[in-house]
Amino acid sequence: MNTRRDFLQKLTLSAAVIPFLPGYSPSSLTDFSNHPYQGRVLRVAILGLGSYGTRVADAMQSCKRAKLVGAISGTPAKLKEWQSKYNIPEKNCYNYDNFDQIKNNKDIDVVYVITPNALHKEHVIRVAKAGKHAICEKPLSVNAKDGQAMVDACKAANVKLLVGYRMHFEPKTLEVIRMRKDGEFGKVLFFQGLSGFTIGDPTQWRLNKQLAGGGAMMDIGIYSINGARYMIGEEPVWVTAQETKTNPEKFKEGVDETIQFQLGFPSGAVASCLSTYTMNNLDKFFLNGEKGFAEMQPSTGYGPIKGRTHKGELTQPHMTHQTIQMDEMAAIIFDNKKPVVPVDGEEGVRDLKIIDAIFLAAKTGKKVSLTV
């Protein structure tokens, strides 16, 4: 159990054994249920063939509007394995040194970057310069400055930059957002986000400051940051934070173990959140308003998400997150569809601005003002 993704897979039911349900079509999601899709298909190459890259590749086998056609890796054996497993042509396989040549490959529309956080900036900018759209796994980068450089590079190249915010397409999450927008909770007062697990292998890249840009906050705490924003429906204007470190040998300088942080919003709503690499049994969101509440646990795991509100249990069917994400991103890229919650590069930069402020608040002990 060396990674967040391994943990979440065991914490919840494996998405692999829960069937994709194409018949469920909430109004905010693309409807493929009435007839087979016959339009343009988004042709995707995945850069970074680790555990999450494999999860995305597996989920894409059920996509209606996106297809895995390429692979990029520094490990030749993985490329061979993916060619066989996913029927990928050899001409669509690249390594980290030569993948700029995708600019000459008309069979690839977009590259999904799933590499360590500190490599996102270089890889996305190279993808943009090759004239391809980019999807980047979150966090977008290791700080807001680098994230903005990625946004600017994609704009200059006239390509889209999207971020792998799979929860922005998750049906139960979208139902809570709908209820909040429709005023069913009344004035929102409070949000709680608990994000964490006990991380394993101390030598993995997620505990390497140079590759990860931090620790738990970059990996798992970002879910509570992003969740606070889309659940409350506002952008925070201040943050306070407190860091706790019980194992400095495992969590070295610049690698956060546990951070509690608080966010304040223009309406007066507040959020209280926890990001940690040393506690299990978390993954919980709670939203409280004057007229009602929403509680989700698991709130961001691979599924099925479970939740209830003051009106009862959330019953929207489970949909494999990465499957619906990639189909919806095809609609965003080809049709300029506007998702309920943005997944563009600017959205990624907003989260990074908040992470930068959380780190500053934890270091100084002061309230930090925010403009995101």
- Binning the chain into helix, strand and coil, the percentages to the nearest 5 are 40, 20, 40
Q: What Rg do the C-alpha atoms of the chain give, in angstroms?
A: 20
pLDDT of residue 361: 98
As a whole number of angstroms, the distance between CA 310 and CA 312 comes to: 6
Judged on CB neighbours under 10 Å (0-12, 13-18, 19+), 281 is: exposed
DSSP result, 275-317: EESB--S--EEEEEESS-EEEESSSSSSS---EEETTEE--PP
ω into residue 304 within 30 of 0, thus cis?
A: yes
What the block records as the tokens of 240 is 């306070």
pLDDT of residue 33: 64
Choose, from 64, 121, 132, 138, the residue flagged as catalytic.
138
User: 302 catalytic, yes or no?
Assistant: no
Give all strands of the β-sheet with 42-47 in edge-to-edge order: 93-94, 66-72, 42-47, 110-113, 133-136, 161-163
What the block records as the tokens of 285 is 């969101």
pLDDT of residue 34: 62
pLDDT, tens digit only, all 372 positions of the chain: 444 444 444 434 333 333 333 334 556 787 766 667 778 999 999 999 999 999 999 999 999 999 999 999 999 999 999 999 999 999 999 999 999 999 999 999 999 999 999 999 999 999 999 999 999 999 999 999 999 999 999 999 999 999 999 999 999 999 999 999 999 999 999 999 999 999 999 999 999 999 999 999 999 999 999 999 999 999 999 999 999 999 999 999 999 999 999 999 999 999 999 999 999 999 999 999 999 999 999 999 998 999 999 999 999 999 999 999 999 999 999 999 999 999 999 999 999 999 999 999 999 999 999 999
Phi-psi region of 158 (alpha: psi -120 to 50; beta: other; left: phi over 0): left
Choose, from 86, 94, 165, 223, the residue flagged as catalytic.
223
The H or E element containing residue 29 is none
pLDDT of residue 11: 39
User: 277 catalytic, yes or no?
Assistant: no
What the block records as the tokens of 196 is 């964490």
As a whole number of angstroms, the distance between CA 357 and CA 121 comes to: 20
The full set of domains in the chain, from first to last, is: 9-166 (3.40.50.720), 167-315+345-369 (3.30.360.10)
Instruction: State phi, psi for 315 to the nearest 5 degrees.
Output: -115, 5
Alpha-helical segments (H) within 164-308 = 171-181, 209-212, 216, 222-232
Closest CA to 172 of 368, 344, 319, 361: 319
Q: Enter the pTM of the model.
A: 0.92
DSSP-derived 3-state class of residue 93? strand
Amino acid identity of 236?
P
